[in-house]
Amino acid sequence: MQESHKKQFWLMVNVAMELTNHNPLSKEAILTWWHMLSKYEYLDVEAALDKWVKEMAKPPTPSDILKLCQHKVTIHARLPSPLAIEENREHVKEVMDYVAANIKPKRDYRAWARKIVDNPSRYPDISLKLAKEALALPTVN
C-alpha cells in the first residue's frame, strides 16, 4: 500500500471493527496494522477485510488479514517426458490409445436435418431449406 492509502485504510479497518461489534481501534493499533499489512496491495487488503466481515462474526486480527492477503500458489506436478525418440513415440501411442478407448464417439449433429428432409410435409419451407444446406456442408472431424 502507499502512504496515500493510510486514511482509507484507517477508515476501512475501523468499519470492519464496527461491523464485527468491536470498538474502533486507537491510532497506535491502526499504525501497527498498517506496518504489518503495508507490503500488500490496498485492494488485496480491502478484499481480505471484506471477506472476513462477510464470513466471520468476531473482529479480525492483523494475522487473520495477513493470511487472507497471501496468495495461494498452486504447484502442479509435471510428468517427465521421455528423452529417447523411440520411447517418446511409444508414450504418444499409449496416450492416443487411451484417449481413443475412453472418449465417447461424436454424435451426428446433422440427424435433425435428415429428419426434416425425410418428412418435408411436417415442417415449414424454411426448415427444409436449412436442413438441405446443413446436409450439403462438409463434415468436420
pLDDT digits (tens, 9 = 90+) for 83-141: 677 778 888 899 889 888 888 766 677 888 889 999 999 999 999 999 999 888 877 65
Q: Rounded distance, CA 84 to CA 63, Å?
A: 51
Tell me if 21 is assigned to some domain.
yes
Q: Report, as an integer, the average pLDDT of 4-28.
A: 88
Count the domains in the chain: 2
Q: pLDDT value at position 74?
A: 58
Quote the pTM value: 0.48
Q: Are residues 13 and 65 in the same domain?
A: yes
Tell me if 102 is assigned to some domain.
no
Residue 66 has pLDDT above 80, yes or no: yes
Q: pLDDT value at position 129?
A: 93
Q: Rounded distance, CA 3 to CA 6, Å?
A: 6
Give, in degrees to the nearest 5, the angle at Cα 22 between 21 and 24. Answer: 130
Of the residues 43, 69, 95, the one at which a domain ends: 69
Q: pLDDT value at position 112?
A: 86
Of the residues 11, 42, 69, the one at which a domain ends: 69
Residue 49 has pLDDT above 60, yes or no: yes
- Nearest to residue 35, comparing CAs of 59, 13, 68? 13
Q: Are residues 63 and 116 in the same domain?
A: no
Tell me if 64 is assigned to some domain.
yes
- Which domain covers residue 35, as residue numbers? 3-69
